[in-house]
A and B are shown apart, each in its own frame.
Chain A
Amino acid sequence: MSSTYPGFRVKFSRNVVSWVGELQPSAISETYTVKIDFRLRARPKVWVLSPVLKRRDPKEKIRHTFSDGSICLHLHEEWAPEMFIAERIVPWLALWLLHYEVWHATGKWLGGGHEPTARK
Chain B
Amino acid sequence: MAIAPAPLFTESSEAQIDDLLMRICVELQLDETRYKLAEAKYQAVGTWLETQTLVARLRPSIYPQGSMPLGTTVKPLSGDEYDLDFVCEFVCGITSFRSPIDALDLVERALRANALYAPMVQRMNRCIRLNYAHNFHLDILPACKDPQNGGSCILVPDRRLREWTPSNPKGFVAWFESSSRQMLSRTLLERAAPLPAQQAAERKPPLKLCVQLWKRWRDNRYKNNPDLAPVSVVITALAGLTYRGGQSVSTALGNILGETAKAARTSHPRLYVLNPSNRGEDLSERWDSKPGAYREFVSGAIEFEAEWKELSRLRGIDKITRSLERLFGEDIAKQVVEKQTRDIEARRARNELAVKKTSGIIAGLAGTSVERILPNTFYGEEK
Q: List residues of chain A with CB under 8 Å of any chain B CB.
A: 4-7, 21-31, 63-67, 72-76, 78, 86-88, 90-99, 101-102, 104-108, 110-116
Contact = CB atoms under 8 A, between A and B. Distances in A.
25 contacts: A5-B357, A24-B359, A25-B361, A26-B16, A27-B13, A27-B16, A27-B361, A28-B16, A28-B317, A30-B315, A72-B379, A73-B376, A75-B376, A75-B379, A88-B376, A93-B360, A94-B355, A95-B376, A98-B341, A101-B316, A105-B320, A105-B334, A106-B337, A110-B341, A116-B381
B383 interface: yes
A103 to B, nearest CB: 8
B348 A95 contact: yes
Interface in B272-321: 314-318, 320-321
A66 B380 CA distance: 6
Contacts, number: 160
Nearest to A108: B338
Which of B354, B374, B376 has the most A CB atoms < 10 Å from its CB?
B376
B80 interface: no
Contact of A98 (B315, B362, B374, B379): B362
B371 interface: yes
B380 A115 contact: yes
- How many chain B residues sit at the interface, stated as a range, is 35 or more
Contacts of B374: 87-88, 91-92
A110 B338 contact: yes
A43 B376 CA distance: 15
Interface string B316-338: 11101110000000000010011
Nearest to A27: B13
Given A26-B362, A94-B361, 10 more contacts: A26-B10, A26-B16, A29-B315, A29-B317, A92-B374, A102-B341, A106-B338, A112-B345, A113-B377, A116-B380
A11 B17 CA distance: 37
B318 A63 contact: no
A25 to B, nearest CB: 5
B345 A91 contact: no
Interface string B180-218: 000000000000000000000000000000000000000
Contacts of A28: 13, 16-17, 314-317, 320
Given A27-B12, A28-B315, A106 B378 contact: no
Contact of B378 (A25, A72, A91): A72
A24 B371 contact: no
B11 interface: yes
Contacts of B358: 5-7
Nearest to A6: B358
B212 to A, nearest CB: 21
A41 B318 CA distance: 37
Given A26-B16, A94-B362, A4 B317 contact: no
B342 A110 contact: yes
B355 A27 contact: no
Nearest to B373: A91
Nearest to A93: B360
